[in-house]
Amino acid sequence: MIKTIDWKENRVVMIDQRKLPWEEIYVVCSEYPQVIEAIRTMVIRGAPAIGIAAAMGAALGAQTLAPDNPEEFRKGFQGICREIGAARPTAVNLTWALERMSTTMEGRLSGGMKGVQKALIREAARMLAEDVAINKRMGQAGQEVIRDGDTVLTHCNAGALATGGYGTALGVIRAAKAAGKKVRVFADETRPFLQGTRLTAWELVRDHIPVTLITDNMAGYFMKKGMIDRVIVGADRIAANGDAANKIGTYSVAVLARAHRIPFYVAAPCSTIDPRIKSGEAIPIEERDPREVTHWRDLRIAPEGISVLNPAFDVTPHGYITGIITETGVLQPPFTRSIREALRGAGMRERGEGRSKREAKNVAR
């Protein structure tokens, strides 16, 4: 299995996703600013993976906090979390993970600094293990939407590399294959960062899932030819009404899917849902460096003197979404209600109330 991120001997180790598929190089962070830099420069990307990186970064930062004074420790830790939280704006898992780390910190603060530091490491590791378990539940629930023989179009990378492992959208595809279904994938190359070409194709080839690579502008052509049966994508933040922010281009795919009557699914854990945001209009969209569009590595491919816009995400309004695949099941419209119910269920599970013994064991591992 692909190891996207791990905690090893007081260091955070991540596969460098900028270097795939050419090289399998690992970035080792021994200080939390290195984790921030890794998130910012997309050594690691994908909402769930960013969440885990943030948690591990916070755990790393906590080790350097010297004062054996609860109030000062809290202040220091909050400062670190604020810094990490500012690394990228769109994926809500970043905030979600840091809030969970803060809760852990508060719960242990009275027991001495060494205890808090250890608890934070344990909590970050637990979030990684939980994420994999959640993705497997999501895959199990979501694979129902794939029929034997379907061709699924996906955009960007919502795979093992975007998560602690197994993946969201690709997890659903993996689960469909594991359930004995024949499934083929069309992968949009996903400009400008080429997550489809470099990451999704790489993952699927490793798993022997047939994958056809296309440029982003070909999706409509193949839909019109009747060659796409389902679209499944990930998400970086889902509003309370089901509007979903995901990699730039997802919205165009959703409009095209609607025009061709192709079911369009979003696969994401409940931690990607931001119930505080009522609709997608309020989701902040990151604008990234124009160089991603104007340059190929160090070579400028666009002439001097042009303007460039490089929004990294767009929002697909809930009306375009057939279902939201989460670890609690496939949410159906109206999403405002199904999301509310799912979050209530997920909250119960988090507190261990609705959790089966087997799940609890998975999480504890």
Residues serving a catalytic function are: 236
**Torsions phi, psi of 96, nearest 5?**
-55, -45
Sign of the Cα torsion 141, 97, 187, 177 reads negative
Q: Is the distance from CB of 47 to CB of 273 less than 8 angstroms?
A: no
Backbone angles phi, psi at 199, to 5 degrees: -105, -55
Note if the bond before 48 is cis, omega within 30 degrees. no
If the CB atoms of residues 140 and 294 are measured against a copy of itself, the closer one turns out to be: 294
Kind and range of the H or E run holding 78: helix 70-85
- The nearer residue to a copy of itself, 32 or 313, going by C-beta atoms, is 313
What residues contact residue 360 under an 8 Å CB cut-off, 6+ apart? 352
Nearest approach, Cβ of residue 298 and a copy of itself (Å): 12
Q: How far is the CB of 82 from a copy of itself (least distance, A)?
A: 29
Of the pair 180, 303, the CB lying nearest a copy of itself is at 303
Task: Output 52 or 201, the one with its CB closest to a copy of itself.
Answer: 201
| Radius of gyration in angstroms for the set of CA atoms belonging to the chain, rounded to a whole number | 20
Closer residue to a copy of itself in complex, CB, 205/360? 205
**From the CB of 42, what's the least distance to a copy of itself, in Å?**
16
Residues at the site binding a copy of itself, with contacts judged by CB under 8 A: 21, 155, 187-192, 194, 197-198, 201-202, 204-205, 210-222, 224, 248-249, 251-253, 255-256, 258-259, 293-294, 296, 301-311, 314
CA distance 49 to 17: 12
Tell me the closest approach of the beta carbon of residue 221 to a copy of itself, in angstroms.
4
Rounded to whole angstroms, how far apart are CA atoms 63 and 101? 13
- Residue count of the chain, please give it: 365
Task: Provide the minimum distance between the beta carbon of 319 and a copy of itself in the complex, in angstroms, as a whole number.
Answer: 12
